[in-house]
Chain A
Amino acid sequence: MNPLLEVENLTVDFWNQNRWVNVVSHVSFKVMPGEAMGLVGESGCGKTTTAYTLLGYRRPNSRIDKNAEVCFDGQNILKLPGSALRRIRGKRIALVPQNPTTTLSPGMRVGRQINEVLAAHGVSGGERQERVLDLLAHVRLPDPLKTAQKYPHQLSGGQQQRVIIAMALACRPDLLVLDEPTTGLDVTTQAQILELLMHLRQEQGMAMVYVTHDLSVVATICDRVGVMYAGELVEEAPTGELFRNPRHPYTRGLIASVPSVRVPRQRRRILLRGYLQRDQLPPGCRFAPRCLFAHESCFSDKQNLVTAAENHQVACWRWSEVPQLATEIVEELPQPEIVSAPKGAPLLQVDDLNCAYEYHRASLFANPVAKLVVRDVSFDIRPSETFALVGESGSGKSTIARTIAGLLRPPSGKVTFDDQAIAGKVGARTQDLRRDIQLVLQNPDASLNPRQPVLQIIGRPLEIFFHLRGKELRNRVEQLLDDVRLDKTYVRRYPGELSGGERQRVAIARALAANPKLMLCDEILSALDVSVQASILELLRALQAERQIAYLFISHDLAVVRSLAHRVGVLYLGELCEYGQVEEVYSPPFHPYTHMLLSAVPEVNTESRLVPTVRSDAAEGTGSRKTACPFANRCPWKVGKICEDVPPPLQQVSETHALHCHIPLEELRQRETWSKSTLQTAKS
């Protein structure tokens, strides 16, 4: 059989500040008809650029090497004229890009956006409307007739991504190019989209090129994986083989950096050091500066892909020694300490907290309507403890952080800090209290002022809270940079000159500058690469040990939470449905919602493909609550009418672990399937 797609020697440069910067370098791979090929790597590795080139797309101010070839079904896509490209795009090669919200045209009904593709590729008018409805039904959108009439903003993220998949499938393409299609979606939604994609592939036999940073997603969906680093393909192998026997040091590091939702605390592992610095690439192996096993010759000798095993290629001349060397290093690492939740009086106590946003007025003269997004939530955090709140988007996690930070005034409920009830709004709080509670936000690109140098960013809280000036201030800032493992020369840099991980470190340093007792961390890792995530997690642990800081750690990532938190609260539609010590929450009995969340997490699994299954995506549950148990309408184990009418009782599992459910604990234990499937995977 001939390959459907053959990429040969693909090299792409971008024009950046008066010089060409190499983004993709000599990448070659093949995709057979019906095969799913994954491209993984951290941000900046060139995977997305490679994917878009497959559609003959070239970013403005970029150049593709003239020797490069992207042969699709015998024709070189890179040499085709515009009209021929238009005939292939959308018809034979279709794209599912990363962000569904910005990908759909905001002013056009979604049905028409699908219709357009059909029209452009010569489907007659009468047939089109029917095909559109068929496609919408096929991607399992409810009520196709109604959905087709909607505008993108009226759909949830998961539904928007389904529309885009329907659009991509419209002309039954031979090749589907997917660029991080589930990044930014909730785990439950992601699980459903993955399941849909696998189903569609089986049914239509199309080939896929799947680009993602998420190794567990690749493990779930791809037949073969290519690992990219700094624009080069460094390893390529069938999925099972790659995860079982990773040969390249980079691949090993990547796999080790992924926290597991199924293993309590990470075993000893070698994390990736540093991060990709494009302006400091050596002429030889581009990974050498970050490689633990690099020889001097690695920096000067170019590494080409060599065959390590059948179908397994790797660009590292020491591939056969690496496993042995790695084992030796791991054995020298100290065992990670067992974390136990600290005892003592709580630092922060939250009792029956309600949070609300004020809605916009319906008309000029109407009163603003308040919408309750968090209901009767209670928890406490002790000094040097990490309490995590998990839940899907819209569950009210961030709202709780904003309320504790004093950005929102709660309509009712009590927040006690250091045995003192604290004022709702930050403006009414004392200077000391403002200093004690610090907030770190998700996106450092947006939370750091781009026109201030690091010195000023970190220095500001020092001026306000400690009245430091001049040399003193500078010394303290340098010390703080050191605390977050950044070089002190960074004081003069601007956020734009830092990488994403470094920026988040600066944001953390700014919070630390106030010498807080409590840090509110709102999704601070979600925008970062796995290796950076892993290093910031280490940093947070170290800081906690040094300074006894308590963290309120808000995250949708159950694996990260398991590796960091002491105690966990699971939030659904603004209500805590389960809470307890971390290992209690991650083992049975589970609240049905906790169980659904855990089952939706894909795993880097070497033995079998576990397809995560969930019943409904997050959006179907959002909106105003109509039932006594907020989860009733989505619950796969719903008992009956009682769930809708009677608030579920709090069942105490242990002294520290409790959940709200009508189902008896014993039955919950029996029904769960997640930990049972864990057993065999945890061993491997």
Chain B
Amino acid sequence: MIIRLILSRMVLAVLTLLAVSVFIFWTAEILPGDIAARVLGREATEESKQAFRDRLRLDRPLHERYWLWLKGAVQGDFGVSLVDQSQERQVADSIKPRLKNTAILGVYAFALYVPVTIFLASISALYRDRLPDGVISLVNLVGLAMPEFVIGTVLIYGFAVKWSLLPVLSQIQRAETLKEILNSTTLPAVTLTIVMSVYSIRLLRDSLIEVLESEYIRMAILKGLPRYRVILFHALPNAAAPALNTMALNLAYLIGGVVVVEQVFAFQGLGSLLVQSVFVRDAPTIEAVALLVSTVYIAANLFADVMSIVLNPRLRTG
């Protein structure tokens, strides 16, 4: 039963991804103008333009090119970058270090985000309408109202400029040891954690409060169970479902949507690569990054789906 359910979700996820890939490829291809002319410049000869088109197989029909592109993408070959024709730079090569940086930052931020959210939401729900809840809600509201670049800037001002604890700019591309990595990622990671957790804390707090008022929680208390067991085994698993979906979306956001935060810290991640590629109209790179980000989005949602199936026995048993 559960295997079938998960399998059918996975099939759906793959289908969605295919649809997305068609859309991405098509959008990049309909960008106006002759790509060859755009890349090689106005002075290029007709022969060199023709050679360029041949190399990129631009004269083949769209569906054939899509198929070739997809086949390559599945094997990790996203083609050649259009910028800097002299060097024949593979898209995959330019993505790889960026992906690594983004992954490090993402994992770091996510590892902070989940426990912080659960902890603060639990405190808030347990001390509902009392001082701790009030303080958390207030700070939350401030966080919610501030755009991410303001949060980042404030953190830089405090930790980097005023107290000189951490570097202003993130030099992750030069970091080698763990200490250097942590040094260069902590501020952006904290910024992202704040951005992500403000909304999740509210969500989890509200669903926790609802669960804490339920009869099964009252029963758990009146069974004489210790408090931590009531929270950990009875309240949290049942309150997690709505928060899980936001967590999954946030996970995806970490991979592709953190352009602004990357800019604030001059962080060399996927987001800034995407922005740069858009400026120079480097279609293969845009396609590759977009496909990668969509894959993460879909995978994260699939993960959230599967988790809520696992947490809710109603969905997994007949």
* Residues on A facing B (Cβ under 8 Å): 52, 55, 57, 85-91, 94-95, 97, 99, 102-108, 116-117, 120-121, 151, 153-154, 164, 167, 363-364
Indicate whether A153 sits within 8 Å of B314 (C-beta atoms), given known contacts A57-B218, A99-B215. Answer: yes
Pairwise interchain contact A117-B224, C-beta atoms closer than 8 A: yes
The residues of B that contact A116 with a CB separation of less than 8 Å are 223, 225, 229, 233
**Most central of A99, A103, A151 by chain B CB within 10 Å:** A103
> In the complex, which of the residues A95, A107, A120, A154 contacts B219, with contact meaning CB atoms closer than 8 Å?
A95
The residues of A that contact B4 with a CB separation of less than 8 Å are 363
CA A363 to CA B4, docked complex, whole Å: 8
The residues of A that contact B222 with a CB separation of less than 8 Å are 52, 55, 57, 89-90, 95
The residues of B that contact A88 with a CB separation of less than 8 Å are 224
Pairwise interchain contact B225-A120, C-beta atoms closer than 8 A: yes
Q: Does B95 contact A (CB under 8 A)?
A: no
**Most central of B218, B224, B233 by chain A CB within 10 Å:** B224
Pairwise interchain contact B216-A102, C-beta atoms closer than 8 A: yes
CA A121 to CA B12, docked complex, whole Å: 48
Pairwise interchain contact A105-B220, C-beta atoms closer than 8 A: yes
A-B contact pairs, 23 of them (CB 8 A): A57-B221, A85-B224, A86-B225, A86-B226, A88-B224, A89-B222, A89-B224, A90-B222, A90-B223, A90-B224, A95-B219, A97-B218, A102-B216, A103-B216, A105-B216, A107-B311, A108-B233, A116-B229, A151-B313, A154-B318, A363-B4, A364-B8, A364-B12
CA A89 to CA B312, docked complex, whole Å: 28
Pairwise interchain contact A102-B214, C-beta atoms closer than 8 A: yes
> In the complex, which of the residues B8, B215, B220 contacts A363, with contact meaning CB atoms closer than 8 Å?
B8
Whole-angstrom distance from the CB of A85 to the nearest CB of chain B?
8
CA A88 to CA B221, docked complex, whole Å: 11
CA A363 to CA B11, docked complex, whole Å: 12
Pairwise interchain contact A97-B221, C-beta atoms closer than 8 A: no
The residues of A that contact B318 with a CB separation of less than 8 Å are 154
Pairwise interchain contact A105-B234, C-beta atoms closer than 8 A: yes
CA A106 to CA B214, docked complex, whole Å: 11
Q: Does B50 contact A (CB under 8 A)?
A: no
Pairwise interchain contact B229-A107, C-beta atoms closer than 8 A: no
CA A60 to CA B229, docked complex, whole Å: 20
Per the 8 Å Cβ criterion, residues 1-59 of B in contact with A are 4, 8, 12
The residues of A that contact B219 with a CB separation of less than 8 Å are 95, 97, 103-105, 164
Pairwise interchain contact A121-B216, C-beta atoms closer than 8 A: no
The residues of A that contact B12 with a CB separation of less than 8 Å are 364
Pairwise interchain contact A153-B313, C-beta atoms closer than 8 A: yes
Pairwise interchain contact A89-B314, C-beta atoms closer than 8 A: no
CA A91 to CA B215, docked complex, whole Å: 19
Pairwise interchain contact B317-A151, C-beta atoms closer than 8 A: yes
CA A260 to CA B216, docked complex, whole Å: 35
The residues of B that contact A87 with a CB separation of less than 8 Å are 224
Whole-angstrom distance from the CB of A82 to the nearest CB of chain B?
8
Interface readout for B185-215 with A: 1 if CB under 8 Å, 0 if not?
A: 0000000000000000000000000000011
Pairwise interchain contact B215-A154, C-beta atoms closer than 8 A: no
Pairwise interchain contact B215-A106, C-beta atoms closer than 8 A: no
Pairwise interchain contact A86-B224, C-beta atoms closer than 8 A: yes
Residue of A nearest to B310 (CB): A107
A-B contacts at CB below 8 angstroms, number: 80
Pairwise interchain contact B313-A106, C-beta atoms closer than 8 A: yes
The residues of B that contact A121 with a CB separation of less than 8 Å are 224
| Known pairs A55-B222, A104-B216, A104-B219 / 9 extra A-B pairs, C-beta < 8 Å | A52-B222, A85-B224, A86-B226, A95-B222, A103-B215, A107-B312, A107-B313, A108-B234, A153-B317
Pairwise interchain contact B223-A154, C-beta atoms closer than 8 A: no
Whole-angstrom distance from the CB of B209 to the nearest CB of chain A?
11
> In the complex, which of the residues B216, B223, B313 contacts A89, with contact meaning CB atoms closer than 8 Å?
B223
The residues of A that contact B311 with a CB separation of less than 8 Å are 107
CA A89 to CA B225, docked complex, whole Å: 9
Q: Does B238 contact A (CB under 8 A)?
A: yes
Pairs A-B, 7 closest by C-beta atoms: A90-B224, A89-B224, A151-B313, A90-B223, A102-B215, A105-B216, A86-B224
The residues of B that contact A107 with a CB separation of less than 8 Å are 237-238, 311-313
Interface readout for B255-280 with A: 1 if CB under 8 Å, 0 if not?
A: 00000000000000000000000000
Pairwise interchain contact A120-B233, C-beta atoms closer than 8 A: no
CA A637 to CA B29, docked complex, whole Å: 78
The residues of B that contact A55 with a CB separation of less than 8 Å are 222
Pairwise interchain contact A167-B223, C-beta atoms closer than 8 A: yes
CA A99 to CA B220, docked complex, whole Å: 14
Residue of A nearest to B215 (CB): A102
Whole-angstrom distance from the CB of B84 to the nearest CB of chain A?
46
CA A90 to CA B222, docked complex, whole Å: 6
Whole-angstrom distance from the CB of A81 to the nearest CB of chain B?
13
Residue of B nearest to A151 (CB): B313
The residues of A that contact B233 with a CB separation of less than 8 Å are 105, 108, 116
CA A90 to CA B221, docked complex, whole Å: 9
Whole-angstrom distance from the CB of B215 to the nearest CB of chain A?
4
Interface readout for B149-184 with A: 1 if CB under 8 Å, 0 if not?
A: 000000000000000000000000000000000000
The residues of B that contact A364 with a CB separation of less than 8 Å are 8, 12
Residue of B nearest to A57 (CB): B222
The residues of B that contact A86 with a CB separation of less than 8 Å are 224-226
Indicate whether A97 sits within 8 Å of B313 (C-beta atoms), given known contacts A90-B223, A120-B226, A364-B12. Answer: no
> In the complex, which of the residues A105, A106, A117, A363 contacts B314, with contact meaning CB atoms closer than 8 Å?
A106
Pairwise interchain contact B238-A105, C-beta atoms closer than 8 A: yes
**Most central of A87, A104, A106, A363 by chain B CB within 10 Å:** A106
CA A105 to CA B219, docked complex, whole Å: 9
The residues of B that contact A167 with a CB separation of less than 8 Å are 223
Interface readout for B277-314 with A: 1 if CB under 8 Å, 0 if not?
A: 00000000000000000000000000000000001111
The residues of A that contact B220 with a CB separation of less than 8 Å are 105
Residue of A nearest to B214 (CB): A102
Residue of B nearest to A87 (CB): B224
> In the complex, which of the residues A57, A85, A94, A120 contacts B229, with contact meaning CB atoms closer than 8 Å?
A120
The residues of A that contact B214 with a CB separation of less than 8 Å are 102
CA A363 to CA B6, docked complex, whole Å: 11
The residues of A that contact B317 with a CB separation of less than 8 Å are 151, 153-154
The residues of B that contact A117 with a CB separation of less than 8 Å are 223-225
The residues of B that contact A108 with a CB separation of less than 8 Å are 233-234
Residue of B nearest to A112 (CB): B233
CA A85 to CA B223, docked complex, whole Å: 10
CA A530 to CA B237, docked complex, whole Å: 40
Whole-angstrom distance from the CB of A360 to the nearest CB of chain B?
11
The residues of B that contact A52 with a CB separation of less than 8 Å are 222
Pairwise interchain contact B224-A120, C-beta atoms closer than 8 A: yes
The residues of A that contact B221 with a CB separation of less than 8 Å are 57, 89
The residues of A that contact B229 with a CB separation of less than 8 Å are 116, 120
CA A102 to CA B226, docked complex, whole Å: 21
CA A104 to CA B313, docked complex, whole Å: 13
CA A164 to CA B218, docked complex, whole Å: 13
The residues of B that contact A120 with a CB separation of less than 8 Å are 223-226, 229
Residue of B nearest to A95 (CB): B222
Residue of A nearest to B236 (CB): A107
Whole-angstrom distance from the CB of B37 to the nearest CB of chain A?
47
Residue of A nearest to B1 (CB): A362
CA A57 to CA B217, docked complex, whole Å: 13
The residues of A that contact B234 with a CB separation of less than 8 Å are 105, 108
CA A51 to CA B215, docked complex, whole Å: 15
Whole-angstrom distance from the CB of B111 to the nearest CB of chain A?
25
Whole-angstrom distance from the CB of A20 to the nearest CB of chain B?
17
**Most central of A105, A167, A363 by chain B CB within 10 Å:** A105
The residues of A that contact B313 with a CB separation of less than 8 Å are 106-107, 151, 153
CA A650 to CA B233, docked complex, whole Å: 55
**Most central of B226, B229, B234, B313 by chain A CB within 10 Å:** B313
CA A154 to CA B12, docked complex, whole Å: 28
The residues of B that contact A95 with a CB separation of less than 8 Å are 219, 222
CA A117 to CA B234, docked complex, whole Å: 13
CA A610 to CA B219, docked complex, whole Å: 32
Whole-angstrom distance from the CB of A518 to the nearest CB of chain B?
38
CA A43 to CA B214, docked complex, whole Å: 20
